[in-house]
Structure 1
Amino acid sequence: MTPEEKNIVRSLIAVAWADGQVEAPEEGVIDGFLGLYDASDEEEAELKEFAKERKTLEDVPFDELDDEGKEILLSNAALLSAADGKTSESEQELLDELVKRLELDAAEAKRIIASARDGAIAVGNRLLEDAD
């Protein structure tokens, strides 16, 4: 994994902790990123250890993220915040803080979040249609 990929996963772990607990759907998303980024056994163990205790955005360095990394992080943080079926007030506050830390324009951040959520809804609807 690159340092940027590790920081994306660390950031997603902080988002997962925003409501005070990490639910199974959120763990699944994090595991998916470990697979996507082809984490070694050592990297996976390191990040799972990192995830054992509550994390905040203070625990994550953002200086290694380029523009693409910032967009990937924000879009997936938006999805992760709703992975348990809803975005709590604390999760929304964390997303707002993430936008500030990533130094993203508010309109651009809104577009990224809406696009991510719209894509997830479309995929979910297709899965439901296929099940019929």
Structure 2
Amino acid sequence: MTPEEKNIVRSLIAVAWADGEVAAPEEGVIDGFLGLYDASDEEEAELKEFAKERKTLDDVPFDELDDEGKEILLSNAALLSAADGKTSESEQKLLDELVKRLKLNEAEAKRIIASARDGAIAVGNRLLEDAD
């Protein structure tokens, strides 16, 4: 994993903790990123250990993310915040804070979040149609 990929996963862990717990669907998303980024056994163990205790955005070095990394992080944070079926008030506040820390303008952030959520709905609908 690159340092940026590790920071994206660390950030997603902080988002998962926003409502005070990491639910099974959120764990699944994090595991998916570990696979996507081809984490070694050592890296996976390190990040799972990192995830055991509550994390906040203060635990993440945002200055190491490039523009693409910022967009990847925000879009997946939006998906992760709704992975358990709802975006809680604390998760929404954390997303708002994430936008500030990533230094994204409001219009760009809304576009990224809406695109991520629309894509997830479209994929979900296709999966349901394929099951018919």
Q: Normalising TM by the smaller chain, what interval?
A: over 0.9
Gaps of 5+ in 1: none
Tell me the TM-score normalized by structure 2.
0.99
Residues 72-93 of structure 1 show CA distances to partners (whole Å, capped at 9, x for unaligned) of: 0000000000000000000000
> Pairwise CA RMSD of aligned residues?
0.4
Moved over 6 A (4+): none
Q: Residues of 2 paired with 1:4 and 1:87: CA distance?
A: 26
1:37: how far off? 0.4
Partner secondary structure for residue 55 of structure 1: coil
Q: Residues of 1 paired with 2:72 and 2:115: CA distance?
A: 12
**Structure having the larger proportion of residues in helix:** 2
Residues 94-123 of structure 1 show CA distances to partners (whole Å, capped at 9, x for unaligned) of: 000000000001000000000000000000
Gaps of 5+ in 2: none
Partner secondary structure for residue 19 of structure 2: coil
Paired position in structure 2 for 1:103: 103
Q: How does 1:46-61 map to 2 (within 5 A)?
A: 46-61=46-61
Residues 19-67 of structure 1 show CA distances to partners (whole Å, capped at 9, x for unaligned) of: 0000000000000000000000000000000000000000111011000
1:130: how far off? 1.0
Partner secondary structure for residue 54 of structure 2: coil
Paired position in structure 1 for 2:85: 85
